[in-house]
Amino acid sequence: MSEFEKIKSQDDSYVAHTYGRFPVAIKQGKGATCFDFDGKKYIDFSSGIGVNSLGFCDEGWVNAVTQQLNTLQHISNLYYTEPCSVAAKLLCENTGMKKVFFSNSGAESNEGAIKCARKYSYTKYGNGRSKVITLVNSFHGRTVTTLAATGQDVFHNFFYPFTEGFEFVPANDIEALKNALDDTVCAVMMELIQGEGGVMPLDKIYVEQVSELCKNNDILLIIDEVQTGVGRTGKLFAFQHFDIKPDIVTTAKGLGGGLPLGCVMFGEKTENTFVPGDHATTFGGNPVATAGAGYILGKMDNDFLNEVGRKGEYIKQKILKMPYVEGVDGMGMMLGVRLEDGIKAADIVKKGIEFGVLALTAKIKIRLLPPLTISYEEIDEGLAAIEKALKEI
């Protein structure tokens, strides 16, 4: 048995079958390049679904994390730690948000946001104003409540009863939202680019109208930046491309750079909504994870973020010249490639693995989320593999 076969058979025997895996085991990586157990090389256009912001094993990030690991790996939230306060300060200073609650995942961040919105409204208006409006085709996570918040029927199976109090309206339809906003609504929650929904950016005018409507009715605007956050779109957070001031912003994926970390950021209205006892998580703000986050956030100055935008544009222009490509959606290095009818994104991604590139799909598109530090050489090499896959399909 090869090393890969051994790993696969062990995994098949003992790991719950919740993932459709490709027949590849990745052993190690550096930057945007990684290797499997046979020594085959891959260019990574997935970054672990937008997680490895600085690529595999970035030296500065590894140093920040290991230094903290050798100093203090964890202590309960009954005590202060430095890395947690540093990461929170960087998040607030660079977004205009006021307070941060650290969590461990995207779904958990959205749970925190929903709880906060409900408490804000309950405290001010009493019972009955607890509904959260989300968008059709959204994705907000896999817990029972965040599944309920997700505006896709395929996620509303088996696990009944789901949490009450969610309603979906079509994206980019301001009249539909106006009709849904009655006195039972406490918040509107949305992604600015629907990621799992197929890399679908919202219209700028729509987003700004939603923000205005929310503001005028004291309805909280929650922006789910679990996928779009932490530099992915060429700004630190995607909402900074818009003329809006969200009341709550959630993020996760790229925040820890590969360690499990998420957060909820609160604005002026909500910064004091939670008081001690309202919300907590044992691992929240873990010093090792937040030391990594502090390092990542420290790296993301304007030069870094502008370079994300430039590389994204470079990738987009090259892909637009490839066969069967109809268009490229998205911002920065969150890109969705639309293909001509009859060409399946999943087939291209599968074929791409053969040619040494790791890409993703999102609905009917090829989705690219390269590490933000990917080099132009790595981009060229990965794109050549995608082009080869397109030509041979």
The answer to whether the beta carbons of residues 336 and 327 sit under 8 Å apart is no
Q: How far is the CB of 193 from ligand PLP (least distance, A)?
A: 9
Could you write out the three-class secondary structure of 326-382? EEEEEECCEEEEEECCCCCHHHHHHHHHHCCEECEEECCEEEECCCCCCCHHHHHHH
226 binds ligand PLP (CB under 6 A): yes
Phi-psi region of 249 (alpha: psi -120 to 50; beta: other; left: phi over 0): beta
Nearer to ligand PLP, 109 or 121 (CB): 109
**3-state SS track over 16-63:** CCCCCCCCCCEEEEEECEEEECCCCEEEECCHHHHCCCCCECCHHHHH
Rule CB under 6 A: which of 26-85 touch ligand PLP?
none
Closer Cβ to ligand PLP, 132 or 252, answer by number: 252
Among the listed ranges 16-24, 37-45, 219-227, 384-392, the one in contact with ligand PLP (CB under 6 A) is 219-227
| Subset of residues 172 to 191 that bind ligand PLP, contact rule: CB under 6 A | 191
Q: Does 367 bind ligand PLP (CB under 6 A)?
A: no
User: Interface with ligand PLP includes 141 (CB under 6 A)?
Assistant: yes
What residues contact residue 140 under an 8 Å CB cut-off, 6+ apart?
106, 107, 110, 134, 146, 147, 149, 150, 189, 224
Considering only 222-230, 264-272, 344-352, 373-381, which stretch makes contact with ligand PLP by CB under 6 A? Answer: 222-230
Smallest separation (angstroms) from ligand PLP to the CB of 260: 8
Cβ burial, residue 10 (10 Å; 0-12/13-18/19+): exposed
Residue selected from 48, 55, 106, 267 as contacting ligand PLP according to rule CB under 6 A: 106
Binding flag, residue 252, ligand PLP (CB under 6 A): yes
* Contact between 139 and ligand PLP per CB under 6 A: yes
Size of the site for ligand PLP (CB under 6 A): 15
Shortest separation between residue 360's beta carbon and ligand PLP, angstroms? 11
Positions that interact with ligand PLP (CB under 6 A): 105-107, 110, 139-141, 191, 195-196, 224, 226-227, 252-253
